[in-house]
Amino acid sequence: MEKLLIRHCEVLTFEGREPRFLDARDILIEGKRISAILPASAEAPADCQVIEAAGMLAVPGMINTHAHVPMVLFRNAGPDVNENDWFNKVIFPLEANLTPEDVYWGAMLGQAEMIAAGITCTADHYFEMDWVARAVEQAGTRANLGWAVFGHQGYGQLEETIRFVERWQGKADGRITTWLAPHSPYLCDPDFLARCAREAARLGVGNHIHAAETAGQVALSLERYGKTPVQVLADAGILEQPVILAHCLYPSDDDLDLLAGREAGIAQAPKTYLAMAMGLADLPKYLEKGIALGLATDGAVSSCTLDLFEQMRLTALTQKNKAMDAEVLPVETVLDIAFQGGARVVRQPELGNLKPGNLADVVLLRQDRPAAQPVINKAANLIYSLDAQDVDTVICDGKLIYQGGRHLTLDLEEIYREVNARLPRLLRKDLSRKIAEYPE
């Protein structure tokens, strides 16, 4: 079995929900797993590949709980637009241009960006997902993949996404898991959602879906069905299996009770909410109910980057500001959400914490930029002062995939060349051709 020894680093680990920072440790990785975290020793055993990490902080690989990774192809294509125009005049017409190969190169660019930002696992919700799976396989990362489907595409297309789930479940040496991904209760009717729930139960997988993103969506749902979006999902059976709810900024108190105690996690991407003026979730309430929360990048057309450092910082800062209370979301809670919360949302308990027996997804952060010094409060430094640019080394599933700021699995020049060659065609917009219609 291959052995990797990370020497003389600091380590972020968790005891229960509490973060602990350990000084001067060696992390021994055997095969896919962390086998020991020991006080740093003077000499490295001869049979190990050694990474010298003095001065660096080891943290768990970050988990992106909701993204549309290939949308990096359209990064910054529609700034300064509200939700309706964002869907109907920007992204849905642009996405009508996508070929499977475009999706692949978008996924490759997104993977490169995320690895460099310390993200090792992503719940990705997009189209032509075989091509995304290939990119994940090549990048060496981990993913929970769902092929997005709209109700108007019909049960035939749902079948296609089911076949994807079956084709790729457990592939890439176990790094890929697959779920169903109905788009949302506003673009899938209750019968369609009920079918997704039954199929997920049959397949033994979860559903990844958008819900209650705006107050307008809740009003529309009440008008159409006399129920909130979360009630629609509950009545369709979607909450009987694991589910990732993207955003869910506007649940009622009853909705939160429906979600509490279920295998339901909520993905939070506050950079999108700020950019699109969507308002903010009341996260302390969700936490009180014990609902799993994770960080997400969403797609780069609304959030502009696939960077969880930004989302982590914005989650904390926006919640303090919303509550007008600086004591809301203290650093310990933010770190628990950012690392262990992500693992809870994607339902992978062997991720999110550096401890023996867990899967070896490890990120080494430099701490030598002026803005990162001195280190008085390690938790606060990690949240508020370190950055994606401090990522030095990334290990996923026990394998080195990024070191010294260099990709070991991906060729950036080739990716940029492929993406830019596709752009003129991808950006040609015809408003009469769109993949779906956002209801106004």
Footprint of Zn ion (CB under 5 A): 246
Q: Are strands 176-182 and 62-67 parallel, antiparallel or unpaired?
A: unpaired
CB of 73: closest distance to Zn ion in angstroms?
Answer: 15
C-beta closer to Zn ion: residue 246 or 312? 246
**DSSP structure string for 97-120:** T--HHHHHHHHHHHHHHHHHTTEE
CB of 298: closest distance to Zn ion in angstroms?
Answer: 5
CB of 148: closest distance to Zn ion in angstroms?
Answer: 9
Distance CA 351, CA 357 (A): 10
| List of residues 6+ apart from 336 with CB closer than 8 A | 14, 17, 18, 19
DSSP 8-state assignment for residue 386: -
Distance CA 187, CA 412 (A): 36
C-beta closer to Zn ion: residue 303 or 318? 303
**66 within 8 A of 267, measured Cβ to Cβ:** yes
C-beta closer to Zn ion: residue 193 or 382? 193
Nearest CA-CA partner of 281 in 354, 374, 214 = 214
Cα dihedral 360, 361, 366, 367, rounded to 10, equals: -90
Q: What's the residue count for the chain?
A: 440
CB of 28: closest distance to Zn ion in angstroms?
Answer: 38
CB of 127: closest distance to Zn ion in angstroms?
Answer: 13
* Residue of closest CB approach to Zn ion: 246
C-beta closer to Zn ion: residue 114 or 246? 246
Nearest CA-CA partner of 300 in 433, 109, 89 = 109
Measured on CA atoms in the order 80, 83, 85, 86, is the torsion positive or negative?
positive
C-beta closer to Zn ion: residue 301 or 410? 301
Nearest CA-CA partner of 172 in 121, 117, 102 = 121
**144 within 8 A of 124, measured Cβ to Cβ:** yes
C-beta closer to Zn ion: residue 83 or 387? 83
The tokens of 105 are what?
Answer: 């190169």
CB of 25: closest distance to Zn ion in angstroms?
Answer: 37
CB of 393: closest distance to Zn ion in angstroms?
Answer: 30
C-beta closer to Zn ion: residue 93 or 398? 93
